[in-house]
Amino acid sequence: MKKSIGACPALFPMPVQMIATYNDDGSVDLMNAAWGGILDSDLLILSLDSTHRTSDNIKKRKAFTLSIADETTIKESDYVGMVSENLFPGKFLKTGLSASKSEKVDAPIVNEYKLTLECEVEKISDDEMGFFVYARIKDVLVDESILDPKGKVDVTKLKPIMFDQFKNGYYSLGEKAGQAWDAGKPFLKK
Ligand SMILES: Cc1cc2nc3c(=O)[nH]c(=O)nc-3n(C[C@H](O)[C@H](O)[C@H](O)COP(=O)(O)O)c2cc1C
């Protein structure tokens, strides 16, 4: 029997997207964002609280990088989602993570993350619905350690973490369960 749990953001898994931007003085800010995702092959969206420093930085620089948090950076990635640069200036330095300037967009790349999307802001929609950032993916940088012999990203090497909105847990990736556009093939023959 099914039970109603009310209207809530009941999607799982949610990504743990690490958004890096430059502050006014050129220092780095980093925040954790689960709400957002891919809209098209080179277009993504973030749903941010407009009071975040990240939102201010994005409005000013029209750019950010988005990295996927993994098991090796779970403490750092969670910490920057707990405190705002507005109240805890220098929070990025405190994590011990390091950053380099992107060559494609006006935003920092956090060196320790293994998969990073370099994004240029296309449009910001700030109204009663929320603060939504639409951005073009200009390039994607991957650490060679997560590539398979054919040069494709191997998510089992990336070891991404996923966010569970029901109980605020972070989860690791499980076993591969099947192949897309292939697992359903038996029905084509019926
Ligand atoms: C797991 C997790 C997911 C989060 N997802 C979002 C999100 O999607 N949008 C958002 O505005 N804030 C989200 N936050 C909160 C921000 O990361 C947090 O408020 C952060 O301190 C903002 O930093 P800033 O003010 O330095 O930009 C999330 C935090 C955590 C821990």
Q: What is the pLDDT of residue 84?
A: 98
CATH number at 51 reads 2.30.110.10
Distance CA 74, CA 79 (A): 9
Q: What is the pLDDT of residue 170?
A: 98
Q: Is residue 146 part of a domain?
A: yes
Q: Which residues of the chain have pLDDT under 70?
A: none
Q: Which ligand 1 atom is nearest residue 31's CA?
A: 17
Q: What is the pLDDT of residue 190?
A: 87
Q: Which ligand 1 atom is nearest residue 29's CA?
A: 26
Q: Is residue 73 part of a domain?
A: yes
Q: What is the pLDDT of residue 47?
A: 98
CB neighbour burial string for 164-175, b if at least 16 within 10 angstroms, e if fewer: eeeeeebeeeee
Q: Is residue 4 part of a domain?
A: no
Q: Tokens 């109603």 map to which residue?
A: 4
Domain of 91, in residue numbers: 14-188
Q: Is residue 6 part of a domain?
A: no
CA distances from 5 to 2, 8, 54 (A): 10, 8, 32
Q: Is residue 9 part of a domain?
A: no
CB contact at 8 A, 41 and 131: no
Check pocket membership of 86 for ligand 1, CB cut-off 6 A.
Answer: yes
From 14, 52, 56, mutation site for ligand 1 pocket: most ligand atoms within 8 A of C-beta: 52
What is the number of domains present in the chain? Answer: 1
Q: What is the pLDDT of residue 24?
A: 98
Check pocket membership of 78 for ligand 1, CB cut-off 6 A.
Answer: yes
Check pocket membership of 33 for ligand 1, CB cut-off 6 A.
Answer: yes
Check pocket membership of 29 for ligand 1, CB cut-off 6 A.
Answer: yes
Q: Is residue 174 part of a domain?
A: yes
Q: What is the pLDDT of residue 45?
A: 98
Q: Is residue 136 part of a domain?
A: yes
Check pocket membership of 50 for ligand 1, CB cut-off 6 A.
Answer: no
Q: Is residue 149 part of a domain?
A: yes
Q: Which ligand 1 atom is nearest residue 19's CA?
A: 27
